[in-house]
Amino acid sequence: MTSAMSPSAASPSPRQPVHSHLVDGFGTVTVTPVDPAADAGLIHGWVTQERARFWGMGEAGLELVREIYEDVDRRTTHHAFIVALEGAPVALFQTYECEADRVSECYDVQPGDVGLHLLIAPGEGAPRTGFSAALMTAFLSFVFSDPAARRLVAEPDARNAKAIARLERTGFVLGPEVVLPEVDLPEVYLPAKPARLAFLSAPASSPAGSR
Q: What is the mean pLDDT of the chain?
A: 88
How confident is residue 183, by pLDDT bands cut at 50, 70 and 90? confident
CA gap 93, 109 in Å, rounded: 21
User: What mean pLDDT is predicted for residues 31-36?
Assistant: 97
Q: Provide, for the chain, the percentages of residues in helix, strand and coil under a 3-state DSSP scheme, each rounded to the nearest 5.
A: 30, 30, 40
Instruction: Please answer whether residues 4 and 66 qualify as being in contact, where contact means their C-beta atoms are separated by less than 8 angstroms.
Output: yes
Q: Residue 59 pLDDT more than 60?
A: yes
pLDDT at 164: 96
Those residues whose C-beta lies under 8 Å from the C-beta of residue 51, and which sit 6 or more positions away, are 122
pLDDT at 127: 67
pLDDT at 189: 74
CB atoms within 10 A of CB 47: 19
Lowest mean pLDDT among 7-21, 99-113, 163-177, 194-208: 7-21
CA gap 98, 110 in Å, rounded: 9
How confident is residue 155, by pLDDT bands cut at 50, 70 and 90? very high
Q: Report the sign of the C-alpha dihedral through residues 155, 40, 20, 165, in that order.
A: positive
Burial class (CB in 10 A: 0-12, 13-18, 19+), 210: exposed
61-115 tens-digit pLDDT: 999 999 999 999 999 999 999 999 999 999 999 999 999 999 999 999 999 999 9
How confident is residue 123, by pLDDT bands cut at 50, 70 and 90? confident
pLDDT at 211: 40
Q: Which string of b and e fits 92-103 if b means at least 16 CB within 10 Å?
A: bbbbbbbeebbb
Percent of the chain topping pLDDT 70 = 87
How confident is residue 3, by pLDDT bands cut at 50, 70 and 90? very low
